[in-house]
Structure 1
């Protein structure tokens, strides 16, 4: 297993290149990122998840992983919200709570998973990632909205999110053994790449509007701590607990550990942009954790693999 920084440099440079394209688009073409954030939340993300479920053929075991990750990250976010709500402003606290329950498992983590994991491991990783994605657009979206809207307004916004209905519709089709025509599924192939491209570009678009006053050292330091201290410890503890309870496949163990070391989620910026809660601060924090990723991921994974005996 190649954990050298050079193995991760390709995905990192690609993602940073997308960020650069977003910066250029906003600077030179004067593109407003807010409609793109709306497009990601209400169209591209739901169709991406729907396609993944229809292609993956979810089994009960896979869906248990999805549910377990959803419960785990939702609990983490609620605890962080409780701890930070009196130490940060309402919007910063909401953004911290949202970011604490998620990571860049798709845009960044999936290319790395394809490098490090066999096909079975990649499938396990995808269904774990799905639980985190569901958190983002349910519990996470609610926590973010509560930093700016009332409880009633927040719940109404969640009820309008199509990702929830796309997820349920895909499960219904699979339960009824309904297969969509190959031509229709083929037409959905463009959405994962579009999701990655626009999701990273929107960081660059937001950074193009950042002023020096947007830098908040305490906020960024807390985001880095949540991402590179809390998450690795939680996922390491989860793997050690599963090993204690019974046999754990190396593929699942590695997938869980990888989830714990990816950078902050780009969707932090997407959701902040959609709800109008400090997107500039979110973009700066995402950029810092992404730049740290090629240095910390090999170090963290190497140590965690030795501690769990998976290396």
Structure 2
């Protein structure tokens, strides 16, 4: 791990955040329409393209399912634990953030450095499971912070990512050839997804005042991301080693998923539902700044514990 340079992806991400901050401060750009664009257009098309190209096997879909269930379970657990200590909207945002991480914008470049192509594919399908959690169970829990059950479910039904996932599976199942021009056009959306997803953090921070610095809430978010997730990833790997066995590359995939910073989509979903996006943006930025220092240390220590140092 000592020979892995994480400074380049860090500075790239921070540059996008800084650009978003300038847009909010100098151009007075409202980030809310951009959040809506990410959720309803860019994210569904990005994942439709990735799934169509990937040609998922049953094993790949198994990884997606397991990560979806794991993320959902952590979210529901933290939701129950947080209710007595936080206001409903804050508890909902904390629960959502506990089930996810920056597995795409930050984790994917690291995965491409550390893993062979087969490992990157496994990582992508794990990432898909977490993303599906964000826009289904996670979105529902977040919406329940201020909406009724019926209103929350209605909002989920309107999310196109669910239908993009189903459409991609159908295309692969019937072996339908998507025209090359269409796939080439969809390729542009993955760049929009990364750039706008990080810029929206900066845009939100551009509107933040000192009164939004809630140390208790931020501490809870950081604990869930950098204590709970690494522990869960370690236990999962040890359990798999002791039962059915696990490859070295899948071990690294699972451990990496456990040590990435908080997800930028915490801000995107919070903005879409109007549930304190400023607090989420501060927590996301702090964990992103800490990630280049913590990820090598975490991975080295965890790999040693599972016998792969």
- TM norm structure 2: 0.99
For structure 1, the 5+ residue unaligned runs are none
Within 5 Å, give how 1:1-311 maps onto structure 2: 2-4=1-3, 7-311=5-309
Deviation at residue 28 of structure 1 after TM alignment: 1.2
For structure 2, the 5+ residue unaligned runs are none
Q: For the Cα contact (< 8 Å) 1:99–1:264, is it kept in 2?
A: yes
Q: Secondary structure at the match of 1:92?
A: helix
Deviation at residue 246 of structure 1 after TM alignment: 2.2
Deviation at residue 247 of structure 1 after TM alignment: 2.3
Q: Secondary structure at the match of 1:238?
A: helix
Greater than 2 Å deviation, 4+ residue runs: none
Deviation at residue 221 of structure 1 after TM alignment: 0.5
Deviation at residue 86 of structure 1 after TM alignment: 1.2
CA distance in 2, matches of 1:245, 1:44: 40
Q: CA RMSD in A?
A: 0.8
Deviation at residue 273 of structure 1 after TM alignment: 0.3
* 1:20-75 CA-partner distances (Å, limit 9, x unpaired): 00001111111100000000000000001101100111000000000010001101
CA distance in 2, matches of 1:32, 1:78: 31
- Alignment: residue pair count: 309
CA distance in 2, matches of 1:178, 1:241: 39
